Amino acid sequence: MLQKVRKAVFPVGGLGTRFLPATKAMPKEMLPVVDKPLIQYAVDEAREAGIEEFVFVTGRGKVIIEDHFDRSYELESVLRERGKSDILDELQNSLPKTGTVAYIRQQEPEGLGHAVWCAKRYIGDEPFAVILADDLILSDKPCLAQMMEAREELGGGNILAAMEVSPEHTSRYGILKPGYDNGKIIEVKHLVEKPEPKDAPSNLAVIGRYILEPSVFDILENQTRGAGNEIQLTDALCSLLKNSPFYGLRFDGTRFDCGDKIGFLHANIAFALKRDDMNQAVADIIREISSDL
């Protein structure tokens, strides 16, 4: 029987330099889209996909993330006194259960591959998911849940989220070389981290959702530095795909790069327009502003 994916890794050690000065003292993962921090969207997506244990790979200045996923008794008692039961329920329901969350410090910012490797002892010998909170996806069914379904259909293997990007933007992403491609599932033949357009094997980019076999840890253990002089997850996946089935999933949904200011603003507008309690007001503001452009 296919082994269930029960654990997810959230690499949250990055410095967020693309978002300074906002991220000088605040982790980029705590930036809110409408009224929820990016990391909460990531955790909610994981829970909806059936994840039971949550491993955050953090760094200095990130303890606020731990506070966010903890009870706040003072706040809860004030909300209770004031009869604000809706928001109280929402806060309580958004918390992963006690004992299911772990925080591991990545002591040096050595890259995404190194961050994932830091979770090795906690994950052990089972398949696991990786979610990059910067990549926010608006979809009917959460992207990771789509990937879990694809994994069931395929009978296992490694899966990453994939999306076509404009050819001039390949240097922002891991880019895959496709083999068999039925429009939804793509066989991954090769991967290159952030290639210049002339060197890119396609314009199919890796988006920050992965389901991986634990053998990736042995590869990461000895992974040499790659693009940006960092230990790249993409390079380790390149070795992994030589011995283990590897697929990309063209997911249904819109992805926003929330590590980027424009992508983040775009996400805020798109998510606000999806909300029944504010879509009219936001649409009015957009109409008013754009009439002056």
Interacting residues with ligand G1P (CB under 6 A): 112, 132, 135, 173-174, 193, 205-208, 232-234
- Does the CA dihedral 150-154-158-164 come out positive or negative? negative
* Nearest to ligand G1P of 235, 282 (CB atom): 235
Tell me the closest approach of the beta carbon of residue 282 to ligand G1P, in angstroms. Answer: 26
User: Which residues are registered as beta bridge partners of 206?
Assistant: 162
Contact indicator for 282, 223 with CB cutoff of 8 Å: no
- Supply the DSSP symbol for 224: P
Do 240 and 213 meet the contact criterion of CB atoms below 8 Å apart? yes
Nearer to ligand G1P, 135 or 213 (CB): 135
Residue nearest to ligand G1P (CB): 174
| Residue 125 C-beta: closest distance to ligand G1P, Å | 25
Nearer to ligand G1P, 79 or 192 (CB): 192
Nearer to ligand G1P by Cβ, of 234 and 268: the residue is: 234
Task: Name the minimum Å distance from CB 254 to ligand G1P.
Answer: 14
What is the smallest separation between the CB atom of 206 and ligand G1P, expressed in angstroms? 4
**Residue count of the chain:** 293
- Beta pairing class for 204-212 and 158-164: antiparallel
Smaller CB separation from ligand G1P, 67 or 168? 168
CB nearer ligand G1P, residue 6 or residue 18: 18
Task: Return d(Cα 23, Cα 62) in angstroms, integer.
Answer: 11
Q: How far is the CB of 161 from ligand G1P (least distance, A)?
A: 9
Give residue for tokens 């109409």: 287
73, HSE (Cβ side, Cα atoms, 13 Å)? 0
> In Å, how far are 68, 75, 95, 153, 187 from 83, measured between CA atoms?
22, 12, 20, 47, 53
Taking the complex as a whole, the smallest distance from the CB of residue 113 to ligand G1P amounts, in Å, to: 8
